[in-house]
Amino acid sequence: MKYVTPKEASQLLGVSISSLRRWESDGKIKSIRTPGGQRRYCLEDYEPESKSIICYARVSTHGQKDDLERQAEFLRSKYPRAEIITEIGSGLNFKRERFLSILERIHQRNVALLAVAYPDRLARFGFPLIEWLCEQCECKLVVLNESKLSPQEELIQDILSILHCFSARFYGLRKYQKQAEKILQEEPTQSLLQGEAQQCLKDQGLSL
């Protein structure tokens, strides 16, 4: 009967070391202690639960299908038995259908491992939140850090999208700037603001 270290068991089963210890307490996996007091796990009698191993690949546009296929092939080479899920959509969009489906399955604790080629394949922003969700739901998140599988043109597109969004909001603020200035110039409003300022100073033990 072969026993392996916690790190080896974690990698082979696609779970965290804390999950291994919980399984040990629940009797799901056998373990022994070495003379030095270190844990060793036996995987031969372990019966795996019906949890999925998922590899997720994404590109932003239909014109990047070759990039999408390269991602999928790379992930398939690392995890031959995994479920490969591909999607076309912006990394700024958190409402991607397949992306949300994966998160839902993770939340239901039906996913043992989620692998991506690079962090931005999951999301351009908010990756630590996804990482936290996986940790809470006992899903091992594997990032293979293949930067060449993260198309540079996507980064440029996302930056331009963000700039466009903020410039539109800035333009909207400018539209109301004159209205705000006009309101502030009105006598009743000035009196009201002055009264509020006096009350604020009074609360702080000061005076105008």
Q: Where are the alpha helices (DSSP H) in 4-139?
A: 6-13, 17-26, 65-78, 97-107, 127-136
**In what helix (H) or strand (E) does residue 161 lie, and over which residues does it extend?**
helix 152-185
* 52 counts as catalytic: no
End-to-end CA separation in angstroms for the chain: 84
Taking residue 149's Cβ as centre, other Cβ atoms within 10 Å add up to 20
Which of 16, 31, 50, 60 is an active site residue? 60
Q: How far apart are CA 152 and CA 147, in angstroms?
A: 9
**Helix, coil or strand: residue 43:** coil
Spell out where the chain has E strands.
3-4, 30-33, 39-42, 52-59, 83-88, 111-116, 140-143
Amino acid at 29: I
Query: Which residues are part of the catalytic machinery?
Result: 60
